[in-house]
Amino acid sequence: MSFKQRFFKKKIEKQAIGPQDINHLFTKAKKSSDFRQLSLINKTGHFILSYYNTLIDLEQFQCKVLYAFQEPSFNIGHIKNIEDIRNTIPIEDILITDNIEVIESKFLKGYAILQMKENDYKCALINLANDKVGLREQNNVENEFSVIGPQIGFVENVDINIHLLRQQISTPNLIIQDIHIGSMSHTKVIIAYIEGITNEQHIQTMTQRLQNIDFDVVFDSSQLHQIITDNSLTPFPLLLSTERIDRTVFALISGQVAVFSNGSAYAVTGPSTLLDFFVSPEDYYLPWIIASFFRLIRIFSVFFSVFATSIYIAVLTYHYEMIPRVLLGPLIFSRNNVPFTPLLEVLFLELTIELLREAGARLPTKVGQTLGIVGGIVIGQASVEAALTSNVLLIIVALSALASFTTPIYKMSNTIRFLRFPLIILASIWGGLGIVLGISFLIVHLTRLESLGTPYTVPLYPFRRKDFADSIIRSSYNATSKRPSYLRPRSLWRYHPSDQIKKKNDFDD
Amino acid sequence: MNSRFFFAVSFIVFLTGCENERTIDQVQIIESIGYDQHEDEIKGTAIYPTFKEKGQTKLNILTTKSPSYDDILPRLNTKSAHSIEIGQLRLVLFGKKFAEQGINPVIESLKRDPIVGSRVQLGIAEHTAEDILISGEHTNFPFHLSEKINQNIQNGKLPKMNLHLFLENFYDKGKDPYLPYFTIEEGRAHINGLALFKNGKYINHISLNQSFIVKMLIDGAKNGRYYIKINENKKDGFISLKNLDAKAHYTISQIGQVPNISIDLTMNTQIKDVPPWLNVTVNKDILKIENVLNKHFNEEVQQLISLFQEYQVDPIGFGEMVRAKSRKWNYSRFQDMYPHLKTTVNTKVNIIQIGVGE
């Protein structure tokens, strides 16, 4: 099949079945029982209002629309034209159009259609939408908890999210653009950035990728994340998704772009780098020395989590000569009655831990806790007693599972837990050589990744010395006054730290 | 590309079936091995620990005889349920008779085997290596013989040694290797001096006190207790001292003819015990003790060097020192010259600590 044929074929398939005219729309809608159509005055065929009663706010409908037509001083003679509706109904968002596509999408989002006469193509769309119904009210951070700092997170309503964002960034430079994505859902997706800081290229890339999306229903922003990601053949999340406001605001002021999608409590920010995923907002609320220490621990725990079990396999299967003299005894007697090879032993325990995590995540919180205790203590202890696994391995696996949960971003901690398995297989095949091969593959893969066209491993590779101030360690606020240069921000300085002496001396004050 | 990829992967999977897996609980890890000459045959003794449960570590002994030393390990393998592995080998012990024949072939093979670490300790047993190894069986403390050597290097009178340093001395023409010398005292293995080697063959051994002097001359000692018997004005007694820091400095002159080596040995010591007729709080007595020690060490060093010259061994490495200074160094010429080497010894003992109390 030639290219041209293929191209045209695609175009034909893509054509959506849209409504021909407004009557067609109504005949379809009438099949649903929640569709209502009534005349506002006692003259049939005039001032026909059509709406889905499940989508509109009935109180508003009664107080502002019905009342306007039924109050004693109402004179039908004032409305000669459809445009005059604006003066009668005290609602700001009234749209007058004859574009059937607009009508249909607004109608399905909770607008009521008002026609002067039956079969009028030009009609008024009155916003009676009630989009807060059914959404959760409380917006505590649930999954990215931090002890210090604000506990407010995003909710499923995108307007509230933007409101929360505007509360923190009060500048007209914060630009909000919407796109509607989803042939079925017409989900409102918002791109936020700060003009004068964010590089236009990032905005353009993000906008273009979002606009090119053809999808039916957008359930969550993480779906958008998957579709617009630079490389879908990677276990690494290339954009950062967070439910924390402070994180999103920090991304915006550093010169990143944020994407919100209606119905999702997660914002997607990008371009992000590998190290961004190991940064916790708490780092910025603690003194920098302590914060740096904990950040280092977090980064160490990643390495531990990825390599601990594979090194265990490699050493126990191939490299017994490198075991220190004092460890030889404990390792041998803990493995003494275990009938499996180290590989099976490790896989058994790793899968047990994954099962516990998966089951704990699916179950309600209260049951989940019990399950954690039962699983962790009883199964762990019992499998050692039954000599299915060794004591030492139980400790290593539990520690590495624990270490993987120190990563603040859930998607990244999943990746880390996933990365273990190929390394375990490699270690069981080739021992230490296998681990080295795995590491080499991982490094090559990581350095080739890009996030919105920006290298993923910056500032490590390509090396950017100046951006190290806030990477592996979190330097003091004096040193982090510049935005990261790899984001190519339009203005470099975040703030200007005073050159005063570091120790504050209240003697002079 | 895909089919090529799967081809490669299938190679990985199928070929690794041949890879030599050595799971830690499926191998017999030998910790020490000993070689003895038994008439025409060589007797090998190996110790391996078994770790059953916590606190129930057992040492087990395997012995075998073979005409050739290379055959010992394969023969031991036939006596064991798991394969014999020498990756955790920490001590190779040679019986005196075996060492007199030369330990070169064993050293050669140890050196070539990548699985054997370079921190393996070597040793010489007075009678047979077997006795020494069996004497430790009941201790049920794995690696105790090699730890004994390490501990005595750290805190005792042995100079630094292991396979790596042995090889350095072994291949260095201007230096001769030395190994710890084990005897049995009341049923326990005991380090009782330093065995001297020449061209891989055992020559003789020196006492532990002399070994301490060798240690000071080679490495400079940081540790070690030393006893001296003194005799003055018909009163005798012992001075016990702890060496804190010793350093030897060598100056070589007359490189052209027979070299003259002058040794400056500086020792900073701590006095532990003195006979009751000496008072360490009095300056006069301290000076006296210093003089006594100076004289003693001077004589000891002189004696030891002449002993080495008599045996024609050079553990201190005078040959190496001369070679470093001269372009025309020649091994056989130096061998002839060695017994006539002139040495002058200056010792300086400083007592820097005498303890606290009244």
Candidates A320, A333, A338; nearest CB to B54: A333
Confidence at residue A138, expressed as pLDDT on a 0 to 100 scale: 78
Query: Taking a C-beta distance cutoff of 8 angstroms, is the pair B349, B269 a contact?
Result: yes
Question: Half-sphere exposure (CA, 13 Å, Cβ side) for B356?
Answer: 0
The pLDDT of residue A223 is: 92
Which of A233, A323, A325, A425 is best to mutate for the B interface (most B CBs within 10 A)? A325
Q: Is the pLDDT of residue B233 over 90?
A: no
Q: In this complex, is the C-beta atom of A318 within 8 Å of any C-beta atom belonging to chain B?
A: yes
- Whether pLDDT at A15 is above 80: no
- Would the CB atoms of B16 and A331 count as touching at under 8 Å? no
pLDDT tens digit string along A216-246?
A: 999 999 999 999 999 999 999 999 999 999 9
> Which residues 6+ apart lie within 8 Å of A117 measured at CB?
A45, A46, A48
Q: Are B175 and B166 in contact (CB under 8 A)?
A: no
Residues in A touching B49 (Cβ below 8 Å): 328-329
State which amino acid sits at residue A147: V
**CA torsion sign, A17 to A20 to A22 to A26?**
negative
CB A183 within 8 A of CB A16: yes
What residue in A sits closest to B25 (Cα-Cα)?
Answer: A332
Contact B25 A338 (CB under 8 A): yes
The pLDDT tens digits for A349-372 are 999 888 888 888 888 877 877 877
Domain ranges of chain B: 26-206, 208-358
CB contact under 8 A, B54 and A429: no
Q: What is the pLDDT of residues A409-419, one digit of tens each?
A: 999 999 999 99
Element spanning B267, H or E? strand B260-273
Contact list, A341 vs chain B (CB under 8 Å): 21, 23
Cα dihedral B269, B270, B276, B280 in deg (nearest 10): 90
Q: Which residues of B touch A333 (CB under 8 A)?
A: 51-54
Distance CA B190, CA B188 (A): 6
What strand order describes the sheet that includes B57-66? Answer: B57-66, B41-51, B32-38, B91-95, B121-125, B178-185, B188-198, B201-206
ipTM: 0.84
E strand or H helix at A28: helix A22-30
The CA-atom distances, in angstroms, between B188 and each of A155, B89, B94, B137, B157 are 77, 21, 17, 10, 19
Q: What pLDDT, on a 0 to 100 scale, did the predictor assign at position A501?
A: 56
pLDDT number for residue A229: 92
pLDDT band at A1 (very low <50, low <70, confident <90, very high): very low
Give the whole-number percent of chain A exceeding pLDDT 90.
44
Nearest to B88 among A316, A328, A333 (CB): A328
pTM of the model: 0.85
As a whole number of angstroms, the distance between CA B118 and CA A345 comes to: 33
Long-range contact set of residues B52-55: C-beta below 8 Å, sequence gap at least 24: B52/A333, B52/A336, B53/A333, B53/A336, B54/A330, B54/A333
Cβ of B53 within 8 Å of Cβ of A336? The answer is yes
Q: What's the CATH code, domain B208-358?
A: 3.30.300.210
Residue A311 tokens read as 């090194």
Quote the distance between the C-alpha of residue B207 and its chain's center: 13
User: In the structure, what pLDDT confidence band is assigned to residue A509 with cuts at 50, 70 and 90?
Assistant: low
- Count of other CB atoms within 10 angstroms of residue B339: 12
Q: What is the DSSP string of A136-168?
A: ----B--SS--SSS--BB--S-HHHHHHHHHHH
